[in-house]
Amino acid sequence: MTPIPRLLRLLILPWLLVQTANAATLACDAANPGPVRLQVSVSGMRTTQGQIVITIYPDAQKGFLKGPYKLAEQRLPVVLPVTHACFAMPAPGEYAVALFGDVNDNDHFDLTLLGLPAEGYGFSNNPHLVLGPPKIGKVVVAAHTGDNQIDVTMQYYP
């Protein structure tokens, strides 16, 4: 093995561990009820194949849809007609939900050769997308103490 790949592994592995820790699952349960619960319901899936990846972001355009800025993430098996997830958040505030249907279980949001979505996707507030992802202002939701219901409809590019 050459020294460069070994050095890269030594530098990248700690970074990956920090990123994983930063995006803890934060699922709601008896041990972690959390003062703020985001109850996310996802409908409109076309298949039970794969999983749904649901990610919670803070109200900041700078880090929206960027891995290092995510607050929480859950990967769940698809349940038709509605898949439910609960996130225990530490405090009231404004959050954004982004999700995709990882049909092939490769842990990536796949695109076609033309750069169009190849898998289903969705956002809080269900914005209509034309070219590219929405701005944070279109998808942010105010969360208060207790349960906060967020309904997301999976969308597919035609």
130 within 8 A of 124, measured Cβ to Cβ = no
DSSP tag of 21 = H
pTM across the whole model:
0.80
Q: What is the DSSP letter of 111?
A: B
Q: How high is the mean pLDDT of the chain?
A: 83
- Summarised one tens digit per residue, pLDDT across range 92-121 is 999 999 999 999 999 889 988 888 899 999
Which tens digit of pLDDT belongs to each residue from 51-100?
Answer: 999 999 999 888 899 988 999 999 999 999 999 999 999 999 999 999 99
The dihedral of CA 103, 104, 107, 110: what is its sign? negative
Residue ranges with strand state E in the chain: 36-43, 51-58, 72-77, 82-89, 93-102, 121-123, 140-143, 146-153
**Cα of 113 vs its chain's centroid, Å:** 23
Q: How far is Cα 23 from Cα 55, in angstroms, rounded to an integer?
A: 9
pLDDT at position 99: 96
Helices (H), 35-150: 136-139
Expressed in angstroms, the distance from the first to the final Cα of the chain is 46
Of 4, 5, 100, nearest to 44 by C-alpha is: 100
Domains located in the chain, CATH noted: 23-153 (2.60.40)
Helix and strand numbers (H, E) in the chain are 2, 8
20 pLDDT above the threshold of 70 = no
